[in-house]
C-alpha cells in the first residue's frame, strides 16, 4: 500500500477503500434515521451552531466558549431549545442532525471516554396534546423502542431513537 492509498484521520490511518466504506455506513445510517423520522411526521430543520449559553442544555460548564467579535458565544451542545421553540410555535414535530460540541476531557479519570468533544446528534422534538400522561408515556415508549430500521439500501441498522418531548 502506498502513501496515496492511505487516509490519515484523528482516529487513525485507513485504506481508501475502508474509509470510503465508513463514509457509506454513516450516510446509510443517517438516511435511515431521516426516513424513519419523516415517516413519523417530523420535518428536518437546520439550527444554529453558534449560540448563547442557553445552547448548553446539558452542562454549561462543558461548553466551548468563543470570542465572537468581542462578545462571548458558545458552540452548541444541543438543538433542543431551538427545536422546542419551533414545536411550540408551529405545533408539529421537528428534528435536526447537527454536530454537538462538549468541552469534556476524553481521558478524564472520573468519566473516561464518556463522550467525544464533537459528535453527530440526531434530535427529534414533537408536541403531545390532549393525552393523559400514561398515554403519552406509552407513545414515547413505542417510538423509542423501534430498534431495527431497514434502510433503502437493504442494510439493517440497529438503534434506539432518543426523543425530547414537550408536554
Q: Which three cell numbers stand for residue 162?
A: 432518543
Residue 91 — pLDDT band, cuts 50, 70, 90? very high
Higher-confidence residue: 163 or 4?
Answer: 4
Higher-confidence residue: 121 or 57?
Answer: 121
Percentage of the chain surpassing pLDDT 70?
71
Q: What is the pLDDT of residue 52?
A: 85
Start-to-end Cα distance in the chain = 56
Backbone dihedral angles phi then psi of residue 114, each to the nearest 5 degrees: -60, -45
Q: What is the pLDDT of residue 145?
A: 58
Q: How does the average pLDDT of the chain come out, rounded?
A: 77
**100-151 pLDDT tens trace:** 888 876 666 666 656 678 888 888 888 877 677 777 777 766 766 553 444 4
Q: Which three cell numbers stand for residue 147?
A: 430498534
**10-29 pLDDT tens trace:** 778 888 888 888 888 888 88
SS3 content of the chain, % helix, strand, coil (to 5): 35, 30, 40
d(CA 128, CA 64): 33
CATH dotted code for 41-129: 3.30.930.10
Q: Quickly count: other Cβ atoms within 10 Å of residue 51's Cβ.
A: 19
Q: Where are the domains of the chain?
A: 41-129
Q: What is the pLDDT of residue 156?
A: 41
Amino acid at each position: 500500500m502506498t502513501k496515496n492509498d492511505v487516509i490519515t484521520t484523528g482516529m487513525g490511518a485507513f485504506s481508501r477503500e475502508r474509509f470510503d466504506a465508513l463514509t457509506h455506513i454513516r450516510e446509510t445510517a443517517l438516511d435511515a434515521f431521516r426516513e424513519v423520522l419523516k415517516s413519523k411526521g417530523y420535518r428536518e430543520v437546520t439550527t444554529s451552531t453558534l449560540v448563547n449559553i442557553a445552547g448548553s442544555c446539558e452542562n454549561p460548564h462543558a461548553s466551548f466558549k468563543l470570542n465572537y467579535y468581542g462578545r462571548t458565544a458558545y458552540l452548541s451542545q444541543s438543538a433542543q431549545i431551538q427545536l422546542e421553540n419551533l414545536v411550540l410555535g408551529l405545533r408539529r414535530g421537528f428534528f435536526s442532525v447537527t454536530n454537538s460540541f462538549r468541552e469534556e476531557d476524553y481521558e478524564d479519570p472520573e468519566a473516561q471516554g464518556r463522550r467525544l468533544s464533537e459528535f453527530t446528534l440526531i434530535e427529534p422534538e414533537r408536541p403531545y396534546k390532549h393525552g393523559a400522561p400514561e398515554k403519552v408515556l406509552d407513545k414515547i415508549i413505542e417510538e423509542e423502542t423501534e430498534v431495527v430500521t431497514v434502510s433503502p439500501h437493504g442494510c439493517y441498522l440497529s438503534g434506539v431513537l432518543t426523543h425530547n418531548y414537550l408536554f
